[in-house]
Amino acid sequence: MSQKQLSAAELMEKGFRKYSGEEIDVYFNLDTCMHSGHCVLGNRAIFNTDRRPWIAPDNADVEEVIRVVENCPSGALRYIRK
Protein backbone atom coordinates (compact mmCIF):
# COMPACT_ATOMS: atom_id res chain seq x y z
CA MET A 1 0.00 0.00 0.00
CA SER A 2 1.69 3.18 -1.15
CA GLN A 3 0.94 6.20 1.00
CA LYS A 4 1.88 9.84 0.99
CA GLN A 5 5.31 10.28 2.56
CA LEU A 6 5.02 12.30 5.76
CA SER A 7 7.84 13.90 7.70
CA ALA A 8 8.89 12.57 11.10
CA ALA A 9 7.29 15.60 12.75
CA GLU A 10 3.99 15.01 10.90
CA LEU A 11 3.95 11.34 11.88
CA MET A 12 4.64 12.14 15.52
CA GLU A 13 1.91 14.80 15.45
CA LYS A 14 -0.53 12.17 14.15
CA GLY A 15 0.25 9.87 17.08
CA PHE A 16 2.89 7.60 15.58
CA ARG A 17 5.70 6.25 17.75
CA LYS A 18 9.21 6.05 16.30
CA TYR A 19 11.41 2.93 16.30
CA SER A 20 14.90 3.91 15.14
CA GLY A 21 17.26 1.86 13.04
CA GLU A 22 20.62 2.61 11.46
CA GLU A 23 19.27 3.04 7.92
CA ILE A 24 15.51 3.28 8.42
CA ASP A 25 13.05 4.45 11.07
CA VAL A 26 9.73 2.65 11.46
CA TYR A 27 6.69 4.47 12.85
CA PHE A 28 3.66 2.80 14.40
CA ASN A 29 0.25 4.18 15.37
CA LEU A 30 -1.71 1.94 17.73
CA ASP A 31 -4.93 3.91 17.17
CA THR A 32 -4.82 3.12 13.43
CA CYS A 33 -3.81 -0.52 13.78
CA MET A 34 -6.41 -3.16 12.82
CA HIS A 35 -4.33 -5.94 14.44
CA SER A 36 -4.35 -7.96 11.22
CA GLY A 37 -0.93 -9.39 12.12
CA HIS A 38 0.61 -8.78 8.69
CA CYS A 39 3.69 -7.25 10.32
CA VAL A 40 4.38 -10.12 12.73
CA LEU A 41 3.56 -12.75 10.12
CA GLY A 42 5.61 -10.82 7.56
CA ASN A 43 8.84 -10.93 9.55
CA ARG A 44 9.14 -11.89 13.22
CA ALA A 45 12.76 -10.75 13.32
CA ILE A 46 11.55 -7.16 12.80
CA PHE A 47 8.11 -7.29 14.44
CA ASN A 48 7.80 -9.38 17.60
CA THR A 49 5.20 -8.57 20.25
CA ASP A 50 7.00 -10.79 22.79
CA ARG A 51 9.92 -8.34 23.16
CA ARG A 52 10.43 -4.67 23.96
CA PRO A 53 10.78 -2.72 21.84
CA TRP A 54 8.59 -4.85 19.64
CA ILE A 55 9.84 -3.26 16.41
CA ALA A 56 13.55 -3.74 15.61
CA PRO A 57 14.31 -2.16 12.20
CA ASP A 58 17.93 -3.35 12.22
CA ASN A 59 16.98 -7.04 12.39
CA ALA A 60 16.57 -7.21 8.59
CA ASP A 61 17.80 -5.34 5.56
CA VAL A 62 16.08 -2.08 4.61
CA GLU A 63 14.25 -3.54 1.62
CA GLU A 64 12.71 -6.24 3.82
CA VAL A 65 11.57 -3.66 6.38
CA ILE A 66 9.97 -1.63 3.58
CA ARG A 67 8.27 -4.72 2.13
CA VAL A 68 6.65 -5.63 5.45
CA VAL A 69 5.66 -2.05 6.33
CA GLU A 70 4.08 -1.50 2.90
CA ASN A 71 1.93 -4.62 3.42
CA CYS A 72 0.24 -3.10 6.46
CA PRO A 73 -3.44 -2.85 5.43
CA SER A 74 -4.39 -0.12 7.93
CA GLY A 75 -1.51 2.30 7.41
CA ALA A 76 -0.53 1.97 11.07
CA LEU A 77 3.05 1.35 9.98
CA ARG A 78 5.15 3.90 8.11
CA TYR A 79 8.86 4.31 7.46
CA ILE A 80 11.43 6.96 6.67
CA ARG A 81 14.71 5.93 5.04
CA LYS A 82 17.78 7.71 6.33
Q: What is the DSSP string of 34-61?
A: ----HHHHH-TTTB-TTSSSSB-GGGS-
> What would the pLDDT profile of 61-82 be if each residue is shown by its tens digit?
999 999 999 999 999 999 999 9
- Give the pLDDT confidence score for residue 1 in this predicted structure: 45
Write down all domains in the chain, each with its CATH number in brackets: 8-81 (3.30.70.20)
Give the global pTM. 0.94
Rounded to a whole number of angstroms, the distance between the first and last alpha carbons of the chain is: 20
The candidate with the shortest Cα–Cα distance to 46, out of 11, 34, 38, is 38
Provide CB contacts within 8 A for 14, sequence distance 6+: 6, 29
- Give the pLDDT confidence score for residue 2 in this predicted structure: 52
> What would the pLDDT profile of 18-36 be if each residue is shown by its tens digit?
999 999 999 999 999 999 9
